Amino acid sequence: MKINGVLIEDTFAEAFPMKATRLLITAANANWAMHAAQALTGFATSVIACGCEAGIERRLKPAETPDGRPGVSVLLFATSTKELTRQLQNRVGQCVLTAPTSACFAGLEEGDALPLGKALRFFGDGHQIAKKIGSKRYWRVPVMDGEFLCEDVTRMTKAIGGGNFLILAETQADALAASELAVAAMRKIPEVIMPFPGGVVRSGSKVGSRYKTLPASTNDRYCPTLKQVVTSALPDSVGAVLEIVIDGLSVEAINEATRVGVAAACSRGRKGGIVAITAGNYGGNLGPFHFKLREIMAPRRRR
């Protein structure tokens, strides 16, 4: 299979079960809502060392938020309920509670409850006030610019982490340009995030290392500078590889993000320096979710 002259390799991305939640962060204006969201999702590229994977899903208009103010929707993913709870409390407590004019609400209506304001209310030192509206409870925590409004609990859902595809290009500049096109297209898809900086990762990894203390190490088969010293997966024409990792709330969301992302990357074509698209997997032995590139990119049948 080729798209615009770019080879789509006959392989699949191998992804893993995760737990996830969505938060809605609002503020007096869009800038301050984004400041809080960016702080909360910082240092959250990989569960290997960050504890969780998190990212901005989309901006929210005032009509889309519980308090009628500008907002940002963020998604957080972790490998266990315990870790997701810990990351949620630490990140909201240190990054949203601290942000001027901010408020924080649950972004999912169904699923197991995770403490949100229920835990953060104690910062009020006994001056916090509970408010129940309908079936939902909120906490008003006094802070120096007024009050921090936070929903009592958020909800947790089953999710998927580790969807991915790799862009094989002639040069670093070609790979980066294609990656930027891909991420821009993928950010229009709901229920997914690309957790790495700018949505792109250059340090793709393999499981294990010759150093016992490291759980993961550089994916040497895809490092262009190692072609002559390892069993390389790269043809001579490839001088750079970039990877886009996708976390999502559903198989369908990751499928669609992959589809639009690969299509956007291939829009540069072979003449634009894009050689091939492939994906990372472990032979299908570790993750139950297999995102097959050629199936995803097959032309859609007309109804």
> What secondary structure letter does DSSP report for 298?
S
**Per-residue pLDDT at 249:** 98
For each of the domains in the chain, give its residue range(s) and CATH number, in order of start. Answer: 2-14+160-297 (3.30.70.520), 19-157 (3.30.70.520)
| Span 253-294, pLDDT tens digits | 999 999 999 999 999 999 999 999 999 998 888 899 999 999
Q: What's the predicted TM-score (pTM) here?
A: 0.94
Two tokens at 76? 């957080």
Distance CA 232, CA 7 (A): 17
- Cβ contacts of 220-224, under 8 Å, gap ≥ 24: 222/166
String of DSSP letters for 82-122: HHHHHHHHHHIIIIITTSTT-EEEES-SSSEEEESHHHHGG
Cβ contacts of residue 215 below 8 Å, gap of 6+? 48, 207, 208, 209
Q: What is the average per-residue pLDDT within 136-158?
A: 98
List phi, psi (to 5°) of 200: -130, 145
Q: What is the pLDDT of residues 164-219, one digit of tens each?
A: 999 999 999 999 999 999 999 999 999 999 999 999 999 999 988 999 999 899 99
Residues found in the chain: 303
pLDDT of residue 303: 38
Count CB atoms within 10 A of the CB of residue 87.
22
Structure tokens at 208: 């294990």
pLDDT at res. 284: 86
Pairwise CA distance, residues 90 & 123, whole Å? 12
d(CA 181, CA 162): 20
pLDDT value for 301: 57
pLDDT over 70 for what percent of the chain?
99
pLDDT of residue 178: 98
CB 152 within 8 A of CB 139: yes
pLDDT bin (cut points 50, 70, 90) of residue 62 is very high
Amino acid letter, residue 37: A
